[in-house]
Chains A and B, each alone.
Chain A
Amino acid sequence: MRVGIPRSLFYYYYGDIWKNFFDSLNISYIESPKTNQEIIDRGIKMANDEMCLSLKNYLGHIDYLKDKCDYILVPRISNFKNSNQTCTNFWAAYDIVKNLFPVNILHYNIDLEKGQTLKKGLYKIGKELNKNHHEIYKAYKYAITREKKRIKKNHIINLNKLKVNKTKILIVGHPYNLYDEMIGKDIIKYLIKNNIEVIYSDKFDSKITNPLSKKLSKDLYFKYSKDNLGSIIYCKNNIDGVIFISAFPCAPDSLANELAMRKLQIPHLNLVIDDSTSFTGLETRLESFLDMLGGSLND
């Protein structure tokens, strides 16, 4: 028996927990490959035209996996309590997949307002895969300890990057956009090639960054907007600029971007990505942004 894990959306938040959990339970799994043009095209074919690029992408990954495994892990992740909602796409992903693909879905529900925690979610998966309570508990502990270590490690790496004596740019965005081969990868590659120290917003511990967003607005609704904005506030004195990457047409991001751009006095570049294949337009914007930060415009 094999579980399929789509390398998109939730993967970039929970992929490590899932993989560790399955490893500990001795369940084999298959991850879809890094996004390529074919996967995006498959996703676009399945998707409704108003879905964001990231969700189209997600459907492409499911389409890739549909005949390669017995189960596909499609979570429903709704909220993390204290008005930390997730995007409606995250709520809907489960139903969309269920209605579009004839596949077995591994149920996994996170809804802290209704008491559905990460632990309960993993138990549900374990039971569905016929594991006993003891095995599941062990696997849960294993996954969660490793996850805590990972978060701590990433946070420290980021803090060390802030001390480096180079031009430092904070890349703000959802990890499923930043690290996706077809969305953010080229941008990050370009920055690194130009000798920029790249700091990733999602690698800060969200327990620290999330509450900081209150300084910008108390009415923020989405967890990931709060994490993102909090990360800018957290390191704003130690960075030279912010690049905000979002996928077209992400509504929460468009709000978060405006808030950061208008309220914080940091050089800011917003890049909105769609499935256009040309890098030229992005390159013009990136190059001029770096020119501005580097002061190379002046004699």
Chain B
Amino acid sequence: MKECYLGVDIGSISTKGVIIDNNNKIITSAYIWTEGNPVEAVRKLLNILKDKLPKQYQVKGIGTTGSARKLIGLMLKACIVKNEITAHAIGTLTFYPNVRTILEIGGQDSKIILIKNGIITNYAMNTLCAAGTGSFLSSQAKRLGIKVEDFGDYALKSKNPVKIAARCTVFAESDLVHKSQVGYAKEDIIAGLCKSVVLNYLNNVGKGKKIVGPIIFQGGVSKNKGVVKYFKEILKEDIIVDENSHLMGAIGIAVLARRNKTGHTYSLELKNVKFITKAFECHRCPNTCELLKIYRNDELVDSWGSKCGKY
């Protein structure tokens, strides 16, 4: 039996799973939409992976990352649960040891990681505002009646991108509505949108940071050719988009799972695992914390959200 490790990255928009072997080679992977239900998404994901995984492999470690990492970590009894910044950095460094800058735009957050000699020296993440991230692009795609996957192709067709406010998505959206109502072509608007995502990112997340090559661009939005084009244009540097760029977080957490293996063998079969969450509001004190209780096979495994630590 050969050993392998599963990394699951549960983002707000998409859920990614990767299985690697002892040499960090990808054996199989899957990418599906989260659709607001991380638990169901992971059930689906594991079903897909289970069918794709050759029979001679045994899962010796599971790691979770992404915004639902804690929840899914409990569900899968993961051996490591880590934030997505760390996971992305490790995943990228595994394939590109010389990388200096990682740009990442995901579904609801965006980050920049600066690396020198294989060591992270600085990073930044968007603060309160989720402007210019994947979820904004998806909602605008819906408004324009286009699949978000086709955004890049439209943007590349444009010779004349319209100017769209780059500071705030609320203003960006009113610009967008206005421009389409006065008759600008769809591709010019989409190209303008892609450009505003880049400007927004550089103004909000990349501010004050020295961006040096080699630069790697990842996260779901890196699949958008329009955004890549404008990053190249504005930074005047080559931008590397790995074919697995959307999987880097999952790869990173799989690498971490390999490093943290406990010897336990995991099954990818979840049919018999009952996993439910119950939410309620505590009224013992004026804080009225929103609490979440998590049950695995009817056994309370954790509860979150209490300020006082009673639960």
CB–CB B86/A36 < 8 A: no
Q: Is B33 an interface residue (CB 8 A)?
A: no
Of all chain B residues, which has the CB nearest A283? B83
Q: Which 4 pairs from chain A and chain B are nearest by CB?
A: A38-B286, A288-B85, A36-B286, A37-B287
Partner of A272, one of B82, B89, B128, B290: B128
CB–CB B83/A284 < 8 A: yes
Give the residues in chain B near A276, CB-CB below 8 Å: 128
Of all chain B residues, which has the CB nearest A270? B127
**Chain B residues numbered 198-233 whose CB sits less than 8 Å from any CB in chain A:** 207-208
- Given A272-B128, A274-B128, A298-B286 contact (CB < 8 Å): no
CB–CB A297/B120 < 8 A: yes
**Chain A residues numbered 262-286 whose CB sits less than 8 Å from any CB in chain B:** 262, 267-268, 270-272, 274, 276-277, 280, 283-285
| B84, B86, B93, B121 interface centre (most CB from chain A within 10 Å) | B86
Q: Is A299 an interface residue (CB 8 A)?
A: yes
**Chain B residues numbered 39-70 whose CB sits less than 8 Å from any CB in chain A:** 67
- Given A272-B127, A297-B89, A38-B287 contact (CB < 8 Å): yes
Cα distance A292–B147 in the bound complex, in angstroms = 37
Cα distance A270–B86 in the bound complex, in angstroms = 17
Q: Is B123 an interface residue (CB 8 A)?
A: yes
Give the residues in chain B near A296, CB-CB below 8 Å: 86
- Residue-wise, chain B 73-92 has the 8 Å CB interface mask toward A (1 for contact) of 00000000011111001100
Cα distance A186–B304 in the bound complex, in angstroms = 14
Q: Is A67 an interface residue (CB 8 A)?
A: no
CB–CB B288/A37 < 8 A: yes
Cα distance A39–B83 in the bound complex, in angstroms = 32
- Given A37-B288, A295-B119, A285-B125 contact (CB < 8 Å): yes
CB–CB A297/B208 < 8 A: no
Give the residues in chain A near B93, CB-CB below 8 Å: 297
Cα distance A36–B122 in the bound complex, in angstroms = 34
Give the residues in chain A near B128, CB-CB below 8 Å: 248, 272, 274, 276
Interface size on A, residues (CB 8 A): 32
Q: Nearest chain B CB to A97's CB is how many angstroms away?
A: 22
Cα distance A285–B123 in the bound complex, in angstroms = 10
Partner of A277, one of B67, B121, B207, B290: B290
Q: Is B1 an interface residue (CB 8 A)?
A: no
Cα distance A272–B285 in the bound complex, in angstroms = 26
Q: Is A291 an interface residue (CB 8 A)?
A: yes
CB–CB B82/A287 < 8 A: yes
- Residue-wise, chain B 273-311 has the 8 Å CB interface mask toward A (1 for contact) of 000000000000111111000000000000000010000
Interface size on B, residues (CB 8 A): 28
Cα distance A297–B116 in the bound complex, in angstroms = 13
CB–CB B83/A291 < 8 A: yes
Give the residues in chain B near A262, CB-CB below 8 Å: 208
Cα distance A198–B3 in the bound complex, in angstroms = 42
Taking A39-B286, A267-B121 as given, write out 15 further A-B residue pairs in contact, using a Cβ cutoff of 8 Å, ordered by the A residue number.
A36-B285, A37-B287, A37-B288, A37-B289, A186-B307, A258-B207, A270-B127, A271-B127, A272-B128, A288-B86, A288-B123, A291-B82, A297-B93, A297-B119, A299-B259
Q: Nearest chain B CB to A169's CB is how many angstroms away?
A: 15
CB–CB A298/B119 < 8 A: yes
Q: Is A103 an interface residue (CB 8 A)?
A: no
Of all chain B residues, which has the CB nearest A289? B123
- Given A292-B120, A299-B259, A37-B89 contact (CB < 8 Å): no
A interface with B by C-beta (< 8 Å): 36-39, 181, 186, 248, 258, 261-262, 267-268, 270-272, 274, 276-277, 280, 283-285, 287-289, 291-292, 295-299
Cα distance A291–B84 in the bound complex, in angstroms = 11
Cα distance A271–B126 in the bound complex, in angstroms = 10
| B93, B207, B286, B288 interface centre (most CB from chain A within 10 Å) | B286
Cα distance A274–B127 in the bound complex, in angstroms = 11
CB–CB B122/A267 < 8 A: yes
Partner of A284, one of B85, B120, B127: B85
Give the residues in chain B near A267, CB-CB below 8 Å: 121-122
Q: Nearest chain A CB to B10's CB is how many angstroms away?
A: 13
- Residue-wise, chain B 130-160 has the 8 Å CB interface mask toward A (1 for contact) of 0000000000000000000000000000000
Of all chain B residues, which has the CB nearest A296? B86
Give the residues in chain A near B122, CB-CB below 8 Å: 267-268, 292
Give the residues in chain B near A181, CB-CB below 8 Å: 307
Q: Nearest chain A CB to B254's CB is how many angstroms away?
A: 15
Q: Nearest chain A CB to B38's CB is how many angstroms away?
A: 13
Cα distance A289–B86 in the bound complex, in angstroms = 9
CB–CB A37/B286 < 8 A: yes
Give the residues in chain B near A248, CB-CB below 8 Å: 128
Give the residues in chain A near B127, CB-CB below 8 Å: 270-272
| A39, A276, A288, A296 interface centre (most CB from chain B within 10 Å) | A288
Of all chain A residues, which has the CB nearest B207? A258
Cα distance A297–B121 in the bound complex, in angstroms = 11
CB–CB A288/B67 < 8 A: no
Cα distance A236–B89 in the bound complex, in angstroms = 26
- Given A267-B122, A295-B119, A288-B83 contact (CB < 8 Å): yes
Partner of B118, one of A38, A291, A298: A298
CB–CB A280/B286 < 8 A: no
Q: Nearest chain A CB to B216's CB is how many angstroms away?
A: 16
CB–CB A261/B89 < 8 A: no
Cα distance A296–B90 in the bound complex, in angstroms = 10
- Residue-wise, chain B 99-113 has the 8 Å CB interface mask toward A (1 for contact) of 000000000000000
Cα distance A238–B65 in the bound complex, in angstroms = 33
Q: Nearest chain B CB to A259's CB is how many angstroms away?
A: 10
